[in-house]
Amino acid sequence: MKKKILACLLILFPIFSLGIAKADTVKSKYIIASDSSFAPFVFQNSNNEYTGIDMDLIKAIAKDQGFEIEITNPGFDAAISAVQAGQADGIIAGMSVTDARKATFDFSDSYYTANTILGVKESSTIASYEDLKDKTVGVKNGTASQTFLTENQSKYGYKIKTFSDGSSMYDSLNTGAIDAVMDDEPVLKYSISQGQKLKTPIAGTPIGETAFAVKKGTNPELIQMFNKGLANLKANGEFQKILDKYLASGAATTSTITVDETTIWGLLQNNYKQLLSGLGITLALALISFAIAIVIGIIFGMFSVSPYKSLRLISEIFVDVIRGIPLMILAAFIFWGIPNFIESITGQQSPINDFVAGTIALSLNAAAYIAEIVRGGIQAVPVGQMEASRSLGISYGKTMRKIILPQATKLMLPNFVNQFVIALKDTTIVSAIGLVELFQTGKIIIARNYQSFKMYAILAIFYLVIITLLTRLAKRLEKRIR
């Protein structure tokens, strides 16, 4: 009898626990994070859509299993952070299953096997790891290749330079800023098949299986669905079709380009929609964050000249703390740090997207500087005026409003314009959290066509024109207020 009950429990327990895990955690939509340039697994085609084995695979699996997905492409390192911070549910990015990662990720069944391999320019004389002594090897941050390089660094004596994305790494190799790169073999081989003048002089080293992953202990049903879907696609031949689409000779390429992208005109013609949408995000970021910053900045600026010591102290702490933290770290902290912390306590995913996080970071940053501008402006008005007015029996508030602020505002205006220009340029820094503003848009386009000279020139001109126009406008406004 006892044995029977035990057997029943043993059979029922997994069924129950499975049932509960599923019912509890199924979401109406799953956010999947991926790399931004890692062809043939994920890359942008000439229509600026993300394609590649991983993109096709996850879409096919979602369709097969009947779940909704939304894909984001912030880059490998950022995608890993997004999953760890609970901002994405899963990652598919040619990701290798390593023992270290198993501590923080749950992996699906494998869909590919890859080596890491060294790539050098066609003309390079590097033929072995020993030849790398005192040379610089580039690698993407957070990758298995980086682990390999770090582990073998003392043995071969090379320097390591890390990059946040593949395009800047390959650009640096092409321009000679680094002597070699370490990347997944299918990726290097693919770029060579696409006409990159590179070679792989040393045989690759296995870095394990490639699989889909979720944060350890979360979304178990997503892994189950991925595995089931993958098995179905393998059985019905669709998986092979996806591989063939990108890997067979004559396969889909990064450069099925209709317009010649080697000229500035061609680049603009083929990418103007992307660039304009990036510009829109840049402007929205700058304008919204600056408007918020003015409000916060004025409040703290007024605090800093207040007769109350406590208010002055609050303002001082705010300015010191925000000014003392680099903007990039502030943005990363708001976008990845805080959500990761909240999720670890409440289990709730962060509602903050990259735009909101970027806006908050930019607002706080500019507010600290504006508070100082306000303080400086008010303090530049001779103290005698306040004293004289107060001795006539006029209140502090009224003296401020009627006598001090009108004069101080005039002194502050040029600094406000200056601060706005800085705020607009600072938007490029928050692209680090994967926000696709103008700068990131340019980088993504370069990842596809390697036209870094012309593309960065276009970006520089875009910013120059916008900033010149806006400063002109601001100067006019300034005159009017005066």
Q: Point out which span in 89-97, 272-280, 294-302, 460-468 binds ligand GLN (CB under 6 A).
A: 89-97
Residues, the chain:
482
Among 62, 78, 91, 144, the residue binding ligand GLN under the rule CB under 6 A is: 144
d(CA 31, CA 53): 18
Reported as type and span, the H/E element at residue 213 is: strand 205-215
Using CB under 6 A as the binding criterion, the count of chain residues that bind ligand GLN stands at: 12
CB 94, CB 210: distance < 8 Å: yes
Reading the block at residue 123, the tokens are: 């003309």
> Which three-class secondary structure state does DSSP give residue 437?
coil
d(CA 131, CA 122): 15
Decide if residue 53 touches ligand GLN (CB under 6 A): no
Decide if residue 215 touches ligand GLN (CB under 6 A): no
Decide if residue 64 touches ligand GLN (CB under 6 A): no
User: Which is nearest to 216 in space by CA: 131, 106, 335?
Assistant: 106
Classify the C-alpha dihedral 255-452-472-409 as positive or negative: positive
Q: Point out which span in 5-13, 140-148, 368-376, 408-416 binds ligand GLN (CB under 6 A).
A: 140-148
Decide if residue 437 touches ligand GLN (CB under 6 A): no
Decide if residue 352 touches ligand GLN (CB under 6 A): no
Decide if residue 38 touches ligand GLN (CB under 6 A): yes
Q: Point out which span in 94-102, 127-135, 297-305, 401-409 binds ligand GLN (CB under 6 A).
A: 94-102
d(CA 225, CA 213): 12
Among 72, 96, 115, 254, the residue binding ligand GLN under the rule CB under 6 A is: 96
Decide if residue 54 touches ligand GLN (CB under 6 A): no
CB 245, CB 56: distance < 8 Å: yes
d(CA 202, CA 359): 46
DSSP assignments along 120-160, one per residue: EETT----SGGGGTT-EEEEETTSHHHHHHHHHHHHH--EE
Among 40, 74, 86, 94, the residue binding ligand GLN under the rule CB under 6 A is: 94
Question: Which of 152/418 has CB closer to ligand GLN?
Answer: 152
Q: Point out which span in 81-89, 139-147, 148-156, 356-364 binds ligand GLN (CB under 6 A).
A: 139-147
Decide if residue 88 touches ligand GLN (CB under 6 A): no
Classify the C-alpha dihedral 360-361-367-370 as positive or negative: negative
Decide if residue 35 touches ligand GLN (CB under 6 A): yes
CB of 298 to ligand GLN, least distance (A): 45
Decide if residue 184 touches ligand GLN (CB under 6 A): yes
Among 55, 58, 88, 95, the residue binding ligand GLN under the rule CB under 6 A is: 95
Enter the DSSP assignment of 28: S
Q: Point out which span in 91-99, 173-181, 306-314, 378-386 binds ligand GLN (CB under 6 A).
A: 91-99
d(CA 195, CA 255): 10
Among 30, 50, 76, 212, the residue binding ligand GLN under the rule CB under 6 A is: 76
What is the binding site for ligand GLN (CB under 6 A)? 35, 38, 76, 93-96, 114, 140, 143-144, 184
